[in-house]
Amino acid sequence: MTNDKKVSPTGGDLEGASTPEQNSMPTTKVQRSAKFVTTGIKIGGNYIKHYSKKLFNPDMDKSELNEDNATDIYKSLSELKGSALKVAQMLSMDKNLLPQAYVDKFTQSQYNAPPLSGPLIVQTFRKYFGKNPDQIFDKFNIRSTNAASIGQVHQAELNGKKLAVKIQYPGVGDSISSDLKLVKPFAFRMLGMSERELDIYMREVEERLLEETDYELEVRRSIEFSTACANLDNIVFPQYYPELSSKRIITMDWLEGKHLREFLATNPSQGLRNQIGQALWDFYNFQQHELRAVHADPHPGNFMITPEGKLGVIDFGCIKEMPEDFYYPFFSLTSTNLLDNKTETIKAFRQLDMIHKGDTPTQIEFYYTQFREMIELFAMPYIHDHFDFSETAFFDQLYRFGERLSKLPEFKQARGVKHFIYVNRTNFGLYNILHELKAQVKTDTYKPHVMLEY
């Protein structure tokens, strides 16, 4: 036995049942659309209230408005769950995109959304197995241990083995396209992207979510990736059970451990921080550079630290494959002195659609300068043998640069191929977790494969 707090394979506390259960869930397009309309009315009311107050206090900022809107939007999305809540989770990780009130509120979706009640869980089992869960397992805890954006986790037992059973919310997989159409106006207002850029973003998100809600695909990928990464040091994976899984249910081993934030609260030694950080770095860079496909959902809820001080990886729902015409120009720019060759750099930028065919010489120079600075910043961990992720100066530079870029009118139009959406999210998510760990990492373990001419 261990005294560690028990954490489910999506990162929720076993005791974490303080969030009230949700006894019903909108599943049809009409019901879900009505929820968005109601939320839109509330947000309209928040704006009216804000501008009424501003009449009497012209210096009033938008912090209260952002707080009210973030609360109303999160409440609605957490009841709808699915792709809408997943987008909120993604946006909370992109710290340059949203005001802090949204980041703080949406971060909750990484750990705990309101769980569905027992009767709805039984309905799902009867639909996919024709049996109640207690007819399949020796023990099944009908009370959820963790509820996130796509599904929730229950603890079970079979033949003396402790299991985690992830159950997808009803209707989530069937409502992705319609939900993203409904969430688009909210995203448009919050992000300030151009419509074309937002369309590219939403299409890529939709493709990944369609994969992420196919639990049969997730089981196959989980087995494939955990096998491919089995030789990496200080990483453990649960075993998956296809015979106890279906299109909307996954059964895997239960892993004991702590969330990242719970682990950090124990004040771990620098050596242990470095060990977990090195495992994370190797896990991501082995996949990117040797498999050319990567676990693209690097939020802390998808990892745990075991009592033995190993990194537990517990969710392979979101995988991003990197085609060669993206991989080579991008990682060659981050890992060589290619940036010193302006002609070849511009060729690579063109291949990545960062510089467009019709750009004027002035535009080419502008985008070359901005993107070169961006890649030089991003590449800093790659150009050294070791990197100290506790250094706040590096992250301050990243955030300042991102904030400055987001305000430039030249970046209101879409720039870059769609693959950047998840690859950037993956790598910056990795950087942020390593920063939270304050880890010192050997960064030359799995090097990119490169080309120097384009």
CATH code of the domain containing 281: 1.10.510.10
User: Is the domain of 147 the same as that of 219?
Assistant: yes
For residues 319 and 307, give the distance between their C-alpha atoms in angstroms, rounded to a whole number.
27
In a domain, 157, yes or no: yes
For residues 403 and 194, give the distance between their C-alpha atoms in angstroms, rounded to a whole number.
16
Using CB atoms within 10 Å of the CB of residue 188, give its burial: 0 to 12 exposed, 13 to 18 middle, 19+ buried: middle
Q: How many CA atoms lie within 13 A of 389 on its CB side?
A: 27
User: Is the domain of 391 the same as that of 414?
Assistant: yes
In a domain, 4, yes or no: no
For residues 378 and 382, give the distance between their C-alpha atoms in angstroms, rounded to a whole number.
8
In a domain, 22, yes or no: no
Q: Which residues pair with 242 in a beta bridge?
A: none
- Residue 94 is predicted with a pLDDT of 52
User: Is the domain of 100 the same as that of 149?
Assistant: no
In a domain, 245, yes or no: yes
Give the pair of three-digit tokens for residue 413.
């139009």
Q: Which of 319, 349, 365 is the last residue of a domain?
A: 319
- What end-to-end distance do the CA atoms of the chain give, in Å? 57
173 CB-near residues (< 8 Å, 6+ apart)? 210, 213, 214, 247, 248
In a domain, 357, yes or no: yes
For residues 335 and 114, give the distance between their C-alpha atoms in angstroms, rounded to a whole number.
43
For residues 8 and 259, give the distance between their C-alpha atoms in angstroms, rounded to a whole number.
9
User: Is the domain of 95 the same as that of 233?
Assistant: no
| 387 Cα distance to chain centroid | 23
- Residue 116 is predicted with a pLDDT of 67
Give the pair of three-digit tokens for residue 407.
């305000």
Q: What are phi and psi for residue 95, nearest 5 degrees?
A: -65, -15
pLDDT block averages, 10 residues each, the chain of length 454: 38 40 53 55 54 60 64 61 58 50 53 67 93 96 82 93 92 75 64 66 80 92 95 96 95 94 94 98 96 89 93 90 93 86 93 93 95 91 92 89 81 81 88 95 92 69
For residues 159 and 84, give the distance between their C-alpha atoms in angstroms, rounded to a whole number.
38
How far lies 197's CA from each of 156, 343, 369, 411, 417, in Å?
44, 27, 21, 10, 10
User: Is the domain of 221 the same as that of 359?
Assistant: no
DSSP string, 32-69: HHHHHHHHHHHHHHHHHHHHHHHHH-TT--SHHHHHHH
The single residue listed with the structure tokens 């997808």 is 168
- Residue 2 is predicted with a pLDDT of 35
- Residue 118 is predicted with a pLDDT of 82
Q: Which of 255, 290, 319 is the last residue of a domain?
A: 319
Q: Quote the number of domains for the chain.
A: 3
- Residue 111 is predicted with a pLDDT of 46
User: Is the domain of 287 the same as that of 223?
Assistant: yes
Q: Which long-range contacts (CB under 8 A, 24 or more apart) does 374-379 make?
A: 374/401, 374/405, 375/333, 375/334, 375/339, 376/339, 377/401, 378/334, 378/427, 379/333, 379/334, 379/335
135 CB-near residues (< 8 Å, 6+ apart)? none
> What range defines the domain where residue 239 resides?
118-171+213-319
User: Is the domain of 153 the same as that of 193?
Assistant: no
User: Is the domain of 217 the same as that of 262?
Assistant: yes
User: Is the domain of 109 the same as that of 131?
Assistant: no
DSSP string, 339-352: GG-HHHHHHHHHHT
| Nearest 10 degrees: Cα torsion 415, 416, 418, 419 | -150
User: Is the domain of 418 the same as that of 284?
Assistant: no
For residues 251 and 241, give the distance between their C-alpha atoms in angstroms, rounded to a whole number.
6
For residues 364 and 266, give the distance between their C-alpha atoms in angstroms, rounded to a whole number.
50
Element (H, E) at 166: strand 161-168
In a domain, 201, yes or no: yes
How far lies 190's CA from each of 101, 185, 306, in Å?
11, 9, 38
Q: Which of 257, 284, 319 is the last residue of a domain?
A: 319
User: Is the domain of 361 the same as that of 262?
Assistant: no
In a domain, 24, yes or no: no
Q: Where are the alpha helices (DSSP H) in 379-418?
A: 392-407
- Quote the pTM value: 0.75
User: Is the domain of 56 the same as that of 93?
Assistant: yes
- Residue 9 is predicted with a pLDDT of 40
Give the pair of three-digit tokens for residue 362.
């002035």
- Residue 134 is predicted with a pLDDT of 93
In a domain, 239, yes or no: yes
Amino acid at 64: E
